[in-house]
Amino acid sequence: MIQLLRRLFGGRFTKDQVVAVSRHVVTAVASGLAVAVALGFMGQDDADKAVEMVRQIGEGVAVIVGALGVLLPIISALFAGKSASTTAQIRKVESIPDVTVVAVTPKGDALVEKSKK
């Protein structure tokens, strides 16, 4: 379901969007189960259990998306802090072809040496 949501919403989706999609999934499953019960392929008890299971999965996905909404800014901040370090910046500059980092102070020389480790 997550891949479907990414495709529909371009990789970004809100908790409300997940809940809306989940409602439609539950409706589609319930309709299919109603047809299966009507045609005698499945008993009513089994159909009720299947609908409840799909509903719980939808609620679980909504909770996960909500938790990710809280965790993603924290994770992004950690990555930003790491990439903003002097060592990471030196490594990035040194990765450019035909560019050499030259330190002009002893402290700068120590930082360049540290970035090579």
3-state SS, residue 115? helix
How far apart CA 81 and CA 99 sit, in angstroms, is: 24
Q: Write the pLDDT tens digit of every residue in 70-87.
A: 787 888 888 888 888 888
How far apart CA 74 and CA 64 sit, in angstroms, is: 16
Q: Write the pLDDT tens digit of every residue in 34-72.
A: 888 887 887 878 878 887 887 787 778 777 777 777 787
Q: Which two tokens stand for residue 16?
A: 């409300």
How far apart CA 104 and CA 106 sit, in angstroms, is: 7
Is the pLDDT at 112 greater than 80, yes or no?
yes
User: In the chain, what are the domain boundaries?
Assistant: 2-78, 85-117
DSSP 76: H
pTM reported for the whole predicted model: 0.41
How far apart CA 19 and CA 25 sit, in angstroms, is: 10
